[in-house]
Structure 1
Amino acid sequence: MLNDKTSESRAQEREQAEPSERSQPIPLIFLIGALALVLWGAGYILLSGSFGRADLGDKRTVADLSGPAPGAAANGKQLFTANCVACHQATGKGLPGVFPPLDGSEWVAGDERIVANILLHGVTGEISVMGNTFKGAMPAFGQLSDAELAAVASYIRAEWSNKAGAIKPELFEAERKAATRTAPFNGGAELKALAAKAS
């Protein structure tokens, strides 16, 4: 019993007290370094302008993404920026071999009904634009109102080198009502077939 108490007291003697900040504070050099980093970061954020080139990143504002106010006329350029620019680019030139151009496209300048159906139903598969073949998918934008679809379609038909006329919301309303399609168009061949039916 005595041996147990003796060994216990020796073990206690070997233990050191828990360190505390009062007796061993963080070295002052680390505190100064941390404060300097915080001040430098805050100054950098406050004093720096926009980051990078606008053509290499998404510089859309909240106003660009929020869409028109209730009761206001739809803004085709804003709708294009919010929904189309990622693929077709702000220049309307698309991405070579990946996303087709809208600038100078025969589909954009062609039959209004085709443009309306492309926006309402989307397109997948192979499509030829200005002599170049593209194979991909364009989503449907049927969630947009008829006025919004008309605004974006009219914008792309008159923007860049395009000189086609505006499209009225009534066309989208009529095409939406007449549609039995539940899937995107399967490439340019189905779009040409739709054009043939229209004539």
Structure 2
Amino acid sequence: MNKLIFAFAIVIIGLNSCKPKSSNPENTLASISDTKVLQYAIEGKALYEANCANCHQKNGTGLGKLIPPIFQSDYFLEDVPRTAKIIKHGQKGEIIVNGVAYNQEMPANSKLTNIEIAHIMTYLYNIWGNEMGVIDATMVEDYLKN
């Protein structure tokens, strides 16, 4: 009987390990192995959840056709400096994200410092399969100048 239970447990474990990944993104830090990136990302996650997740959601999927996604977003991934500018200064006007038009104004986060923006960006650009590395305050300062 014990052999039957053991065999059944092995089959169940095997089947669960072969499950396809969920289409619901998880904003996990578990895949980040670089210590400095992880330090920035931990701070960034808290800042993202406090300042951005209300609209873009914790998992980055946005709000239907009202608020664009960040998760798997072509708009987000194609221009890193633009992300810093949008976080700091907000954005008005229509944008196209993954082929969908969005025209909801994003308010500025002018109170966020360059290091806080760097933390948020490091977090977002190093989860969901992205591996951008550290985006530091000096980089954000340069992005905001141009």
Q: TM-score, normalised by structure 1?
A: 0.49
> Displacement of 1:108 after TM fit?
2.1
- 1:152 aligns to 2:120 (yes or no): yes
Greater Rg by CA: 1
Residue equivalent to 1:125 = 93
> Displacement of 1:160 after TM fit?
2.5
Q: Percent identity?
A: 35
> C-alpha separation between the residues in 1 aligned to 2:129 and 2:100?
18
Residue equivalent to 1:103 = 71
Q: Which amino acid is 2:114 matched to?
A: D
Instruction: Answer yes or no: is the 8 Å Cα contact 1:94–1:100 preserved in 2.
Output: yes
Q: Which amino acid is 2:52 matched to?
A: C
Instruction: Answer yes or no: is the 8 Å Cα contact 2:75–2:96 preserved in 1.
Output: no
Q: Which amino acid is 1:139 matched to?
A: P
> C-alpha separation between the residues in 2 aligned to 1:113 and 1:101?
18
Listed as ranges, the matches of 1:22-101 within 5 Å are: 75-101=43-69
Residue equivalent to 2:32 = none
Instruction: Answer yes or no: is the 8 Å Cα contact 1:92–1:160 preserved in 2.
Output: no
- May I ask how many residue pairs the two structures share in their alignment? 107
Instruction: Answer yes or no: is the 8 Å Cα contact 1:94–1:102 preserved in 2.
Output: yes
Listed as ranges, the matches of 1:179-198 within 5 Å are: none
Instruction: Answer yes or no: is the 8 Å Cα contact 1:126–1:135 preserved in 2.
Output: yes
User: Where in structure 1 do 4 or more consecutive aligned residues deviate above 4 Å?
Assistant: none
Instruction: Answer yes or no: is the 8 Å Cα contact 1:123–1:137 preserved in 2.
Output: yes
**Equivalent of residue 136 in structure 2, options 168, 181, 188:** 168
Describe the superposition over 1:118-142 as per-residue Cα deviations: whole angstroms up to 9, x where unpaired.
Answer: 1121111211101111110111122
> C-alpha separation between the residues in 1 aligned to 2:76 and 2:102?
15
Q: TM-score, normalised by structure 2?
A: 0.65
> C-alpha separation between the residues in 2 aligned to 1:75 and 1:144?
13
Q: Which amino acid is 1:87 matched to?
A: C
Q: Which amino acid is 1:105 matched to?
A: S
RMSD between aligned alpha carbons? 2.1
Bigger relative CO (Cα 8 Å, ≥ 6 apart): 2
